[in-house]
Amino acid sequence: MEKAVCARAPAKVNLHLRVFGRRKDGFHSLRSIFQAISLADELTVRSLKQPERIEIDGVFDCPPEKTTIYQGIVAFREATGIQTGVSVKVGKTIPAGAGLGGGSSDAAALLLSLDSLFATRLSLRDLAGLGARVGSDVPFFLYGGAAIVEGRGELIRPLAARRDYALVLVFPGFPMGTAEAFRLLDRERPDDGGEADLPASVLESAYPLPPGDWPFANSFEAPVAGIHPEIALWLERLRAAGALFARMSGSGSTLFGVFGGAAEAEQAVGVLRKNAEPDILVCTAFPLAHGISLL
């Protein structure tokens, strides 16, 4: 008999993102504040009668077998030995190449759904280990809420997530590939010696402050804005619309503004949409205190 589990996979914004210079292993370390938000994809995961079969239905920017969802199924099967067929239907709301972690969140939701569907009762630590094999940001989404994230994304220090502000997101109509963003960063900044570094303790102390007092930054913002002037334009529009704090999320291309509450955010959305082209997404989102939710 086929069974099904539904899950809601939230996006995230990086309130702060400091990228360090390239390490000997070729990767970069980071120090960031991740905040889960209400914009979300929805997954429906079903078991199939055909063993080993994988069906993935959704609108992606790559073939289904290249998605984090497919990779998550493979990692789960290798860890558990379960080879039952699986069907995954994805309702995509989070734009691809947006710096919002949609692919990573989908993978986390997939792993939790499979664990529930097949009653494997994997610990959160075990699921995070599987998630790290799929992508650096996947472990965060299993915890959700807010956290200081370090290393390649595997070191997570949860924070008491705030719910006392609203966000306005602007997706400026073009994706930004992570590899390209790193290339731009490395070209502009061969080493990271000239960039200020906020210790994790300072980030933790600053998070409860009024957003207008946040000292947070994003290492990618200037390099990406250098080839995409729309980044600086929309950040200025967000501030002009009343944002207490505005930054690019992740490696781009989404911009976000922080507002005191829902009314202020909705008013700003109305103003910003007057300047938006048809392919520019402007929407309101809210911080979340928890991670993936099974529906």
Rounded CA-CA distance 96/85 in Å is 27
pLDDT at residue 153, rounded to an integer: 87
Exactly one of 12, 41, 106, 115 is catalytic; name it. Answer: 12
Which architecture does CATH list for 4-159?
A: 2-Layer Sandwich (3.30)
Q: How far is CA 67 from the centre of its chain?
A: 15
List the one residue out of 14, 19, 2 whose CA is nearest residue 53.
Answer: 2
Tell me if 54 sits within 8 A of 173, measured CB to CB.
no
Angstrom CA distances, 7 to 61, 68, 93, 275, stand at 21, 15, 14, 34
Angle between helices 68-80 and 102-117 (to 10 degrees): 30
CB-based contacts of 36: which residues, under 8 Å, 6+ apart?
A: 10, 11, 12, 141, 144, 145, 146, 161, 287, 288, 290, 291
The ranges assigned to domains in the chain are 4-159, 166-285
Catalytic residue at 137?
Answer: yes
Mean pLDDT of 243-269: 98
Rounded CA-CA distance 75/69 in Å is 10
pLDDT at residue 2, rounded to an integer: 62
How does pLDDT run across 148-166, given as a tens digit for each residue? 999 988 899 999 999 999 9
pLDDT at residue 22, rounded to an integer: 79
Tell me if 139 sits within 8 A of 287, measured CB to CB.
no
Mean pLDDT of 197-226: 96
CATH of the domain spanning 166-285, picked from 3.20.20.20, 3.30.70.890, 3.40.920.10, 3.40.225.10: 3.30.70.890
pLDDT at 11 over 90: yes
pLDDT at 26 over 80: no
Mean pLDDT of 57-72: 95
- This prediction has a pTM of 0.95
Catalytic residue at 3?
Answer: no
Does residue 121 come out as left (phi exceeding 0), alpha (psi in the -120 to 50 range) or beta?
left
How does pLDDT run across 176-197, given as a tens digit for each residue? 999 999 999 999 887 777 777 8
| Amino acid letter for position 245 | F
Q: Give the percent of the chain with pLDDT over 70.
A: 99
Exactly one of 41, 106, 115, 137 is catalytic; name it. Answer: 137
